[in-house]
Structure 1
Amino acid sequence: MIICIGREFGSGGHEIGRIIAEKLGMELYDRDLIDKAAEKIVAMPKEVLEKADEKKHNPWLHQVWYDVPNQELNGMTANDTLHQAYSSIIRELAEKANCVFVGRCADYILEQANLDHISLFIAAPFEWRMQRKMEQLSIDEKAATSLVRKKDKDRKAYYDYYTGRSWGRPHNYDLCINSSRLGIEVTAEKLVEMIRELEKAMSPVNFDL
């Protein structure tokens, strides 16, 4: 069973993914996918990959940050190169063992590879997410507002660009949930219950003949 989690910034997607992975005995993959990508893209500095993470095609990032000749990466931007690496890594990991992926268009990548998965989207009201970031990062309201808006904008642009879909649109996911209603811990626990039910529904039906 593979779980893919899309999330609005500040909605607790990473924390929910961690709890789900722990309760189901799975590996969790989020920002550590950058490290795995860096092993594949040895010609590109890791700091460039970090800057390109979950951001759409950007030729300026390639020109400003990357000083190795274009032909080494077939002329692709850092964003495109990283997304291509993510696609390969996510498929490889999904084929090896049950796991949880957070972001990086994992749901679309696995769908295109015909690999079964359960896709979730975690959302929450803007004010709630802003308050969480103010507390977590010890920043003021203005900074938190700017950060949440920018991160949401980047994630939407990235997902929409590489999938041709609309980020956060309910019919693109198996389950969508507002994490502010029950809080992070209880939301994760309820999702585990629903994931188990979905897994049963997705299993082939056995008929006794």
Structure 2
Amino acid sequence: MENYIYNYLAASNLEEIKTPQSKGLIFTLSRDFGTNIKNCATELVEKLNKERVGFSICKKKWALIDSVILSNISKELKIGYDALNQFVPIEHKSIFDQILHGLDFNRSQLDDNLHKAIQTVIYSYFERGNVVFLGRGAAYFTNQLDNVINFKIKSSDENRIHRYAEKNKVNYHYAKEVVRRKAKRRNDFLSYISKGKHQSYDFVLNRDIMDDETLTSLLFDLCKNKEIQCKTYSEVNQLKNKNM
């Protein structure tokens, strides 16, 4: 595991997690199940690294953070970081794994300690900078950061069902049931993460009218504009401080 994960956990007061001193740029991609944007997210990260977008602000290589990454980290933390027991009770550890995988859970069995565990892992990546989050509710933790773009990729039910059926080579009716069931799981997860709060997005994009290449290109242009905006804001502040 990267040192910054351990460092953030060691420095955090888990009783009261504070907003991280986020570096670089943070982009979150939220979507409904079946929208099928994993390839777009991967290509976006590759393009950001190739064009060195944001490197003038933070020189870290861009990373894509998805459910697999967060799940692997949670397992490492349980083995390698004893203090995890302070905020993830033993009886909840199997549920913790389920949450990070986006599986079903009974909300009444969960407590605020579990929310803090997820929040702490996400915040550690905010501290790192230059990350693209694919889902996992990361957008709900960005409200106090100004180096963020929160994207929502929308797609109609029919489009998502057809995408799932085509990708997995199953019939329409089976795909419809899978999309419905997994969409409910994801919504339950987000409801737990958000604690009932409404999430607003900087950009809402319609996946139905965009192929992978078009969506990736649009995301890249918006991310690049955010870099210019952040650099301009930083330069203005430096000038103000110099003249004071």
TM-score class, shorter-chain normalisation, is 0.7 to 0.9
**Cross-structure match for 2:209:** 181
Structure 1 CA distance for aligned equivalents of residues 142 and 96 of structure 2: 22
Determine the C-alpha separation between the residues in 1 that align with 2:227 and 2:216.
16
**Structure 1 segment 58-77 matched on structure 2, within 5 A:** 58=106, 76=110
Secondary structure at 1:165 match in 2: coil
Contact 2:64 2:132 in 1 (8 A): yes
Task: Tell me how far apart the structure 1 counterparts of residues 192 and 107 of structure 2 sit (CA, whole Å).
Answer: 14
Cα distance in 2, alignment partners of residues 47 and 161 from structure 1? 16
CA-based RMSD? 2.8
Q: 1:41 is paired with a residue of what secondary structure?
A: helix
Structure 1 counterpart of 2:98, from 12, 35, 51 = 51
* Correspondent of 1:35 among 72, 76, 92: 72
Q: Which amino acid aligns with 2:121?
A: I
C-alpha spacing 1:59/1:158, structure 2 compared with 1 (3 Å)? closer
User: Do the aligned partners of residues 118 and 56 (structure 1) sit closer, same or farther apart at CA in structure 2, a change above 3 Å counting?
Assistant: farther
Check 1:57–1:80 CA distance in 2 against 1; reply closer, same or farther (3 A cut). Answer: farther
TM-score when scaled to structure 2? 0.66
Q: Is the 8 A contact 1:159 1:165 kept in 2?
A: no
C-alpha separation in 1, matches of 2:93 and 2:37 = 24
Runs of 4 or more consecutive aligned structure 1 residues displaced over 6 Å after TM superposition: 44-47
The alpha-carbon deviation at position 142 of structure 1 amounts to: 1.5
Query: How far apart, CA to CA, are the structure 1 residues paired with 2:126 and 2:96?
Result: 22
Counterpart of 2:178 in structure 1 is 147
Instruction: Give the CA deviation at 1:110.
Output: 3.0
Letter in 2 for 1:35: N
Pairwise mapping of residues 166-177 of structure 1 onto structure 2 (< 5 A)?
Answer: 166=198, 172-177=200-205
Q: Please report how far the alpha carbon of residue 120 of structure 1 lies from its aligned counterpart in structure 2 after TM superposition.
A: 0.6
Q: Please give the TM-score of this superposition, normalised by the length of structure 1.
A: 0.76
Which runs of 5 or more structure 2 residues have no equivalent in the other structure? 1-24, 50-61, 80-89
Percent identical among aligned pairs is 24
Partner of 2:134: 102
Contact 2:74 2:97 (C-alpha < 8 Å) held by counterparts: no
Contact 1:110–1:116, Cα closer than 8 Å, also in 2:
no
Could you say which structure has the larger radius of gyration?
Answer: 2
Question: How many residues matched?
Answer: 188
